[in-house]
């Protein structure tokens, strides 16, 4: 079974994020779900981004995420939703020993954090018409470049335009797409 470090999205550690983690735990995996926002959740992406600015920006989020690895093994699967992909991808690329990576609704250019570890397996999931994910030169372009350079990286696109479609506590939730995402995630974790 896998040991997963899962980072929440910009709306915080919502009940949907806790439920997603519990789904992975129910399949036998260990899931660490740090709260990078100290209990704060937000009704919108804009409100969450305002909070990120208030706490010191992406650098503060990354520092909190990195400190959450204290005492954890190096053999982790790094996972994140949207904003949570930033620390997940950084740790996957820079912390030795990672077993895999799961990026939901976001992906950064490989160069952002150096180089991709040789053979590190990853999945990138997003909706085909999500404006946050598919904007020109954005996340989908970064995911495609990563997959083109590293055959161990897979991309999965789902029909729709929702951003946080796998969080069942938010209006963006899409039950059918989320079920397929969970199925692919569990198959990935079982194969490690």
For residue range 69-94, what is the model confidence (pLDDT) as tens digits? Answer: 999 999 999 999 999 999 999 999 99
For residue range 141-192, what is the model confidence (pLDDT) as tens digits? Answer: 999 999 999 999 999 999 999 999 999 999 999 999 999 999 999 999 999 9
Would you say 176 and 166 are in contact if contact means Cβ atoms under 8 Å apart?
Answer: no
Cα 149 to its chain centre, rounded Å, is 20
For residue range 94-118, what is the model confidence (pLDDT) as tens digits? Answer: 999 999 999 999 999 999 999 999 9
Neighbours of 30 (CB within 10 A): 15
The domain that holds 151 is classified in CATH as 3.40.50.1820
What is the Cα–Cα distance from 34 to 64, expressed in whole angstroms?
A: 9
Question: What range does the domain containing 180 cover?
Answer: 3-191
What is the Cα–Cα distance from 89 to 100, expressed in whole angstroms?
A: 10
Count of the separate structural domains present in the chain: 1
């Amino acid at each position: 079974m896998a040991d997963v470090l899962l980072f929440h999205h910009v709306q915080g550690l919502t009940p949907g994020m806790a439920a997603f983690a519990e789904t992975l735990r129910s399949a036998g995996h260990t899931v660490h779900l740090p709260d990078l926002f100290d209990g704060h959740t937000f009704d919108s992406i804009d409100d969450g981004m305002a909070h990120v600015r208030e706490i010191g920006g992406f650098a503060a989020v990354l520092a909190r995420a990195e400190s959450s690895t204290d005492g954890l093994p190096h053999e982790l699967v790094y996972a994140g939703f949207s904003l949570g992909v930033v620390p997940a991808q950084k740790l996957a690329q820079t912390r030795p020993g990672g077993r895999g990576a799961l990026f939901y609704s976001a992906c950064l250019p490989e160069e952002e954090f150096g180089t991709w570890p040789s053979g590190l397996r990853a999945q990138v999931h997003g909706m085909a018409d999500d404006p946050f994910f598919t904007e020109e030169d954005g996340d989908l372009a970064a995911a495609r470049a990563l997959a083109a350079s590293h055959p161990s990286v897979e991309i999965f696109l789902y029909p729709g335009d929702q951003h946080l479609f796998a969080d069942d506590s938010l209006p963006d939730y899409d039950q059918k797409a989320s079920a397929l995402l969970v199925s692919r995630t569990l198959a990935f974790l079982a194969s490690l």
